[in-house]
Amino acid sequence: MTNTKKIQYYLNSFDSSALKSLKRFINSPFFNKKDGMNILLQEFTKTNVVNNCEVNTQNIFKKLNPDEPFNERKIQRLLAYFLQIIEQFITHYDLQNDQFTHQQKLMEYCNDIAFYTQFKSILEKSEKNNLSKPVKQHLDYLKQYDLLVNKYHYLSINNSLNQNEDKIYDVINEACENLDKYYLINKLRFIAISLNQKTIIKKSKKTLLTDEILKALENNQILKQTPLINAYYNIIKLLIDQSNDEKFQDLQKLLETDTFKGLDFDEKLLYDFALNYCANKINAGHRQYYDRMFELHNQILKIDSFYIDGYLFNDTIKNIVTIALRLNKLDWVEKFLDDYKPKFRPEERDEIYNYNKAKLVVYQTY
């Protein structure tokens, strides 16, 4: 991919607010040391708005250097620098909007220069902002861990009279628990993905520490009370033993709650695992799983992670219509196609609607 296309791809992802911030970033001599970057930004954003075609580098070069003949190497060096500026802006913009990381970096610096009064002030502010928030996804536990590590450092430094021993002990244990939860969510997720892949590519290699982790979790109710740990634990048990319907029911009950709402990646992955389990059971002759699969798809329709830019995945539409027709829910399919047609991708909307409507007509005929 050329630098031109990379630049366009980045700029196409920015909203109007980000583009305004990028312009200010480019105008700052602290971040940008070269002239002409504003002209490049104008040309690229103009092209994006008009028709998303690739910019004409010769025209840009002429605007930047009106008295020089076109020099391919020179324009490519400018484009490489412009791409570098955009990527620096992305990390800067992300950090600017990430208050937690901002505070963590400040605490690290204050610790390095022994500025402990300010360290304490930032720590207290960070605790107030973060410890009161609900902890749901794996990164939340990592944030809690990082925060508690800084608290441990502060308490240790200010423990000359051994007055903080109880607090230090509690902080260490809480930090360990958050680190364990962060690790286990990620480890269990990838064990589940690995087991699922093994059924497709027929590999026999076992993920390291799988048995030891499952055994440790078996009777650990504290860790299993963590929803994502419990969900992935149940999925792994399902993938190891496809006859373990009790674990599927536990997973289905979890998915019926709002526990994973907002955890787009995990929520979609958990539903995908549940749907795959139902599909495997159906393929093995257990037709009662069509009903469970239909229930899952009904829930999916309410979940943002199964939409891209507000539109349903094409496979989701196809699957839910197929399942509903197999269950003879003909009125439901007709209502679904009419109600959800605006949620089909515009460029394929009529084709998807007509194809599935035709399938419905076939079932209505027979």
Which of 266, 284, 308 is the C-terminal boundary of a domain?
A: 308
- Domain of 33 in residue numbering reads as 3-96
Residues 203 and 260 in one domain: yes
* Rounded (10°) angle between helices 165-201 and 138-157: 150
- Nearest residue to 222 (alpha-carbon basis) of 230, 210, 212: 230
324 and 354 fall within a common domain: yes
Q: What is the pLDDT of residue 28?
A: 93
Q: Are residues 108 and 163 in the same domain?
A: yes
Verify that 213 and 294 share a domain, yes or no: yes
User: Following DSSP, what letter does each residue of 95-114 receive, concatenated?
Assistant: HHT-HHHHHHHHHHHHHHTT
Enter the DSSP assignment of 135.
P
Same domain, yes or no: 164 and 191: no
Q: Are residues 186 and 265 in the same domain?
A: yes
**What is the pTM for the complete model shown?**
0.80
331 in the same domain as 291: no
pLDDT tens track, the chain, 366 positions: 789 889 988 998 898 899 999 999 999 999 999 988 999 999 888 855 445 567 888 888 898 888 999 999 999 999 999 999 999 999 999 888 888 998 999 999 998 999 999 999 999 999 888 766 676 789 899 999 999 999 998 888 877 656 778 889 999 999 999 999 999 999 999 999 998 888 767 666 778 888 999 999 988 887 778 989 999 998 999 888 888 888 888 888 888 888 888 888 899 999 999 998 999 899 889 999 999 999 999 999 998 888 988 999 889 999 999 999 999 999 999 999 999 999 999 999 999 999 999 999 999 887
Tell me the C-alpha distance between 332 and 343, whole Å. 16
Is there a single domain that holds both residue 116 and residue 204? no
| Domains in the chain, number | 4
The tokens of 109 are what?
Answer: 């610096």
For residues 288 and 323, the answer to whether their CB atoms sit within 8 Å is no
Angstrom distance (rounded) from CA 119 to CA 126: 10
What share of residues in the chain are helix, strand, coil (percent, to 5)?
75, 0, 25
Q: Are residues 226 and 331 in the same domain?
A: no
> Cβ distance 68 to 43 under 8 Å?
no
Mind spelling out the 3-state secondary structure of 265-277? HHHHHHHHHHHHH
Q: Which two tokens stand for residue 287?
A: 């037709």
Examine the fold and report which residue of 175, 193, 217 is the final residue of a domain before the chain moves on: 175
Q: What pLDDT, on the 0 to 100 scale, is given for residue 49?
A: 44
Q: DSSP letter string over 153-178?
A: HHHHHT-TTS--HHHHHHHHHHHHHH
Whether residues 81 and 163 share a domain: the answer is: no
- Pick the last residue of a domain from 261, 282, 308: 308
> Domain check: are 304 and 335 in the same one?
no
Check whether residue 297 and residue 241 sit in a common domain: yes
Q: According to the model, what pLDDT value does residue 162 have?
A: 65
**What's the confidence (pLDDT) of residue 161?**
58
